[in-house]
Amino acid sequence: MEGILAEIVAKYNYWLYVVLMMIGFYAMIGKRNLVKKLLGMNIFQTAIILFFVSTGVKRGGGIPILDKYKVLEHGVDVAQVVNPLPHVLMLTAIVVAVSITGVALAILQRIYREYGTLEEDEILEKVGE
């Protein structure tokens, strides 16, 4: 028990992201409304983004914006700057998430225009007719 508690305290960020991801995943596969599925996907993406950003953290590290002239003269201590790579990857991931949401909303509007509903069961019934 002690060991598990120490493990949770040391890695509480990952536990939080897994819980957030489970919420999104359940909404994606358990809900029957297409808008709720889309919201679940957004929560899922947020969990992934938070997870990646948290892998870049270094205890005691500063922001990855350096003083140009100081760095050119003296160099930089790697442990003093957080990892910039996850920030870059997630910057692109956020914009891709926005475009995915936009396209998904457009397709949902088109489905609503065509079938008059966004409930999965009713759409499947109307498709089967």
Partner 1 sequence: MKRLQERAQNRPTGESPIIRMAVRVMIPFIQLFGLYVIVHGHYSPGGGFQGGVILGASFILMALAFDLKTTTDYFSEKANAILGNAGALIFTGLGALTAILGGLWLDYSALDRIIPLGPIEWRSMGIFLVEVGVGLAVMSIMVSLYWDLASGGDMDEGL
Partner 2 sequence: MKNLALLATLVTGAILLYGTKDFAPWGDPGSPAATHLSPYYIENAVEQTHVPNLVTAVLGDYRGYDTMFETVVIYCAGMAVVSVLRRPKR
22 vs 125 by CB, closer to partner 2: 22
Say how far residue 12 (Cα) sits from the centre of its chain. 17
- At 14, the amino acid letter reads Y
User: 99 or 129: whose CB is closer to partner 1?
Assistant: 99
Rounded (5°) CA angle 102-106-126: 140
The Cα–Cα gap between 58 and 6 comes to: 20
The 61-100 site mask, x for binding partner 1 (CB under 8 A), equals --x-x-------------------------x--xx--xx-
Binding site for partner 1 (CB under 8 A): 63, 65, 91, 94-95, 98-99, 102, 105-106, 109, 113
